[in-house]
Amino acid sequence: MKECSCIFCKIANGEIPSTTLYEDKDFRVILDLGPAARGHALLIPKEHYADLFDLDESLAARAIVTAKRVALKIKNALGATGFNLVQNNGEDAGQTVFHFHMHLIPRYPDDHAGIAWNPGKADQEDMEEIKRLVDEQ
């Protein structure tokens, strides 16, 4: 395991205690200390990856499978009526801890979790330009 001083490295590897809902050789799932809703959890890989773009691909595949399984347990345990998976990359996208993680957020009627954005209006010409630019990558 690579040496790392970041807080999620320490939490994921058990150097800092956390309320752990699930753990295996690759991941730890903990309760968030600033929950958007009751049962808000974070899936954190034990190895340090800054964000989605840095993440190893086979670990990415295991992350979504693990998130799905733990999300179902949280949903059933707490009687959630909805569920958000949220994953922020970069400061402009709201990332505050620069160690890849996924938010597992159970939702309830009128929970005021406020996970939303203001919808804009798509422009057909711009959509075509976006498609062209992405196709070039």
Residues between 27 and 86 with contacts to Zn ion, criterion CB under 5 A:
48
99 binds Zn ion (CB under 5 A): yes
Q: CA 52 to CA 86: how far, in whole Å?
A: 12
6 binds, among Zn ion, ligand 5GP, none (CB under 5 to 8 A by kind): Zn ion
96 binds, among ligand 5GP, Zn ion, none (CB under 5 to 8 A by kind): ligand 5GP
Could you identify the residue written with the tokens 């075509």? 128
Q: Angle at CA 127, nearest 5°, toward 124 and 131?
A: 140
21 binds, among Zn ion, ligand 5GP, none (CB under 5 to 8 A by kind): none
Q: How far is the CB of 121 from ligand 5GP (least distance, A)?
A: 28
Positions touching ligand 5GP (CB under 6 A) are 7, 11, 18, 30, 32-34, 42, 88, 94-97
Q: How far is the CB of 109 from ligand 5GP (least distance, A)?
A: 22
Q: Are 13 and 46 in contact (CB under 8 A)?
A: yes
What are the b/e assignments for 10-30, b being 16+ CB within 10 Å? ebbeeeeebeebbeeebbbbb
> Is residue 101 among the annotated active site residues?
yes
